[in-house]
Amino acid sequence: MAGEVNIKRLAQELNISIATVSKALNDSYEISLKTKNRVLSLAKELNYTPNPAASNLRSNKTKTIAVIVPDVANNFFSLAIKGIEEIARKYGHHVLIYQTHEDAEMEKSFTNSLLNGRVDGILTSVSSNEYNSDYYRDLVKKVPLVFFDRVYESLDAFKITTDDYQISFKATEHFIECGCQNIAFLYGLGKLPAGTARFTGYKDALIAHGINFREELVLDYSEDEEVNFANIKTLFKKHKPDALFSSIEEFIIPAYMACAELKFSIPGDVKILSFSNMSSAKLLNPSLTTITQPAFEIGNEAAKCLFKILNKKGMDDDKDIVLKSVLIKRASTGC
């Protein structure tokens, strides 16, 4: 009984046409204030809410945006999502969240499932396992899309990133100021601009301070945590680095465990810092120096950007927004 409250029902009870009701609900200029009030108050009384499917079908608007991230369990992404939601809520949009788990195929499959008008726009942070530039070159023409953090550089699309190069340069200098000379680099996201920028910032800082870059001090990320653990131990034994620059959060656990197992003291024997948004960084033993990205703000900016596109405003704005990360010095670098 009470379930079937739709526009037709409102129209009948008020003795007006459904067109008038619809327009009144959408605050159209064509409708007098008096009838608007009549409609609105009855709608409220009957607890009317518009059917989204019908509305979407007719208007081609879904009031939903999609967020595609590798993993919501990652601190960075969960914060970014929070930033996105804040804006989405402001614009009355729902948020559809997809996790790719770094699987490029799943990423494409998810994205494709959104192209038939399921969402108004997409915010994406691409998977790190494959560089799928061609796919995205097509995609950005088909749907409003904003990249954040993990972007494709060459594309003509809106991109929100951070100052990976500069902050990595600065972090490396921090090591050097603490007296480190053999700074190892734990290399993640190698296929993405963010990864290479972090690496280049590290390398350039070494060179700028007259320290030779040594290929053998670079360790590539493996998805298998055990492998990373083993690799770090090997790195320690073979090359005795006095510092570890971890370019992604995932290296922290195996690095700390390796130090514990090899009885290396942090920061005495080796100093460590890492890109990270872990809230417990300050509780590690010892507390971890981090490069912390403004994750919430990135999500915030990305979402704002998308709604600019959806509302056709500021299309001539700069398509590249770069936010600043911050280096938080703690005990693991010890100075």
Partner DNA sequence: TTTAATTACGTAAACGTTTTCGGATAAAAT
Partner DNA sequence: ATTTTATCCGAAAACGTTTACGTAATTAAA
Rule CB under 8 A: which residues touch its own copies?
Answer: 49-54, 56-57, 62, 64, 72-73, 75, 78-79, 81-82, 85, 94-99, 112-113, 115-118, 252-253, 256-257, 278-280, 282-286
In terms of CB distance, is 57 or 253 closer to DNA?
Answer: 57
Q: Report residue 31 as tokens.
A: 């409708």
In terms of CB distance, is 41 or 51 closer to DNA?
Answer: 51
Closest CA to 125 of 54, 72, 199: 72
User: Residue 17 binds what, of DNA, its own copies, none (CB under 5 to 8 Å, by partner type)?
Assistant: DNA
DSSP state of 2: T
Length of the chain: 335
User: Residue 25 binds what, of DNA, its own copies, none (CB under 5 to 8 Å, by partner type)?
Assistant: DNA
Strands 289-292, 271-275: pairing kind: parallel
User: Residue 178 binds what, of DNA, its own copies, none (CB under 5 to 8 Å, by partner type)?
Assistant: none
Query: To 5 degrees, how large is the angle CA 201–CA 205–CA 207?
Result: 120
Give the H or E element holding residue 326.
strand 326-328
- Closest approach of its own copies to the CB of residue 193, in Å: 26
In terms of CB distance, is 72 or 218 closer to its own copies?
Answer: 72
In terms of CB distance, is 57 or 207 closer to its own copies?
Answer: 57
- Closest approach of its own copies to the CB of residue 128, in Å: 18
Contacting residues for 10 by C-beta, under 8 A, at least 6 apart? 18, 21, 39, 42, 43, 46, 48
User: Residue 112 binds what, of its own copies, DNA, none (CB under 5 to 8 Å, by partner type)?
Assistant: its own copies
- Closest approach of DNA to the CB of residue 121, in Å: 17
158-169 CB burial, b ≥16 within 10 A, e <16: bbbbbbbbebbb
User: Residue 84 binds what, of DNA, its own copies, none (CB under 5 to 8 Å, by partner type)?
Assistant: none
In terms of CB distance, is 265 or 311 closer to DNA?
Answer: 311
- DSSP SS3 for 151: coil
- Closest approach of its own copies to the CB of residue 86, in Å: 10
Q: Is 57 exposed, middle or buried (0-12, 13-18, 19+ CB in 10 A)?
A: exposed
Q: Is 177 exposed, middle or buried (0-12, 13-18, 19+ CB in 10 A)?
A: exposed
User: Residue 81 binds what, of DNA, its own copies, none (CB under 5 to 8 Å, by partner type)?
Assistant: its own copies
In terms of CB distance, is 9 or 108 closer to DNA?
Answer: 9
Report the interface residues with DNA, using CB under 7 A: 4, 6-8, 15-20, 22-23, 25-26, 29-35, 48, 50-51, 54-55, 57-59
